Amino acid sequence: VQLQASGGGLVQAGGSLRLACVSSKPSSSKFGMGWFRQAPGKEREFVAGINWSGSYTFYGDSVKGRFTIFRDNAKNTVYLQSNSLKPEDTAVYFCARDKVLYRDGGRQSEYDYDYWGQGTLVTVSS
């Protein structure tokens, strides 16, 4: 399984970006997906997750109310809509696939995800 993340770029504070993560396998529609980020010199941080059907979403505290995760299983794609961006959102954003088929609920630990995309850089200027 290959995950291809895209949509990063340079944006001013208060702006928006939509990240996308495309899976090479249609079977990824049976798994939850997550977005993580890693800023320079910091540990990887959970951002948002979505279950396999899209009926359940969950977020890290730092992005609640500003970011929205959703998916289009017909396109094997998961999106992260990022609004009201802040300089502290600057990081490389990674998408990842849950290890468990048809899991109910969600997981925030990176150890619960087994396939990872290559990352896309988001830079927010002040």
d(CA 116, CA 36): 10
Q: So what's the pLDDT on residue 104?
A: 81
Q: pLDDT per position in the chain (126 positions), as tens? A: 999 999 999 999 999 999 999 999 988 999 999 999 999 999 999 999 999 999 999 999 999 999 999 999 999 999 999 999 999 999 999 999 999 999 987 899 999 999 999 999 999 999
Q: How many CB atoms lie within 10 A of CB 11?
A: 17
Q: Is the dihedral of CA 106, 45, 21, 118 positive or negative?
A: negative
Tell me how far CA of residue 46 lies from CA of 1, 27, 100, in angstroms.
21, 23, 18
d(CA 100, CA 71): 17
